[in-house]
Amino acid sequence: MKFGVIIFPGSNCDHDAYWAFKEVFEQPATMLWHDSHDLQNCDAVIVPGGFAYGDYLRTGAIARFSPIMESVRHFAAAGGLVLGICNGFQILCESGLLPGVLMRNRGLKYISKPVQIRCENPDTPFTNQCKKGEVLTVPIGHMEGNYFCDDATLNQLRQQNRIIFRYCSPTGEVTREANPNGALDNIAGICNEGFNVLGMMPHPERASEPALGMTDGIKILQSLVNAGVLKG
């Protein structure tokens, strides 16, 4: 199982993701340059967090035009596994790989803290190590994490069980108080129709080993490793 982590100008979580897969999970991993079309025969692509191209215009708006994202779109259309984290989620939405947009946080402040998210669908390549309704503690760090889409899209996400994570209380209640950024329907992560592309605002790679103080992210990343091994 080979993982490719994209590097954009302004990425700052690329090495975190690389370390998690290469060192924690002992999987082959490589860096993918934004200005290249070459995915280097990777089995899964990680679109990491950060501030791609300085978040100029709006988050992900420039990154969507990079050569590597053209290859990622073809890769995803063929069923390849793609995980977008934080800025990566924003880029996936701008690229049309996921519906909706990520807007400024409610309160217009940058938020960096651990939050709780509830697994709504354990039957995906990204959640096969989770139980339905399981609460995970994973950190966030963003200014534009307020997910929004139109009513028709929201209904489709609900009906197709594509809302994968929702912000919740430590005991699993989905409430306004547990929503750190104002995201519609407390959405923290969604999948595409093929369930091979996931975008999420929380950072599982920052909760992937005891030294980081949190380990719940292991379940998400291990799920992806397992899915890739089974698919291969």
What's 3-231's CATH class?
A: alpha beta
130 has catalytic annotation: no
- The pLDDT tens digits for 97-131 are 999 999 999 999 999 999 999 999 999 999 999 99
Q: Which one of the listed residues 94, 120, 144, 205 is annotated catalytic? A: 205
Q: How much is the pTM?
A: 0.96
Show me where the domains of the chain are located. 3-231
pLDDT band at residue 30 under the 50/70/90 scheme? very high
Closest Cα to residue 115, out of 134, 133, 144, 138?
138
pLDDT of residue 11: 93
Q: Which one of the listed residues 42, 86, 93, 119 is annotated catalytic? A: 86
pLDDT of residue 55: 84
203 has catalytic annotation: yes
119 has catalytic annotation: no
- The pLDDT tens digits for 124-175 are 999 999 999 999 999 999 999 999 999 999 999 999 999 999 999 999 999 9
**If you write DSSP's letter for every residue of the chain in order, what string do you get?**
--EEEEE-TTB-SHHHHHHIIIIIS---EEEEETT----TT-SEEEE--B-GGGG-SSTTTTGGGSHHHHHHHHHHHTT-EEEEETHHHHHHHHTTSS-SEEEPPTTS--EEEEEEEEES--SSTTTTTS-TT-EEEEEEEES--EEE--HHHHHHHHHTT-EEEEEE-TTS---STT-SS--GGGEEEEE-TTS-EEEESS-GGGGSBGGGTB-THHHHHHHHHHHHHHH-
**If you write DSSP's letter for every residue of 70-121 in order, what string do you get?**
HHHHHHHHTT-EEEEETHHHHHHHHTTSS-SEEEPPTTS--EEEEEEEEES-
Bridge partners, residue 138, by sequence: 115
Lowest-confidence range among 17-21, 56-60, 72-76, 162-166? 56-60
- The pLDDT tens digits for 163-214 are 999 999 999 999 999 999 999 999 999 999 999 999 999 999 999 999 999 9
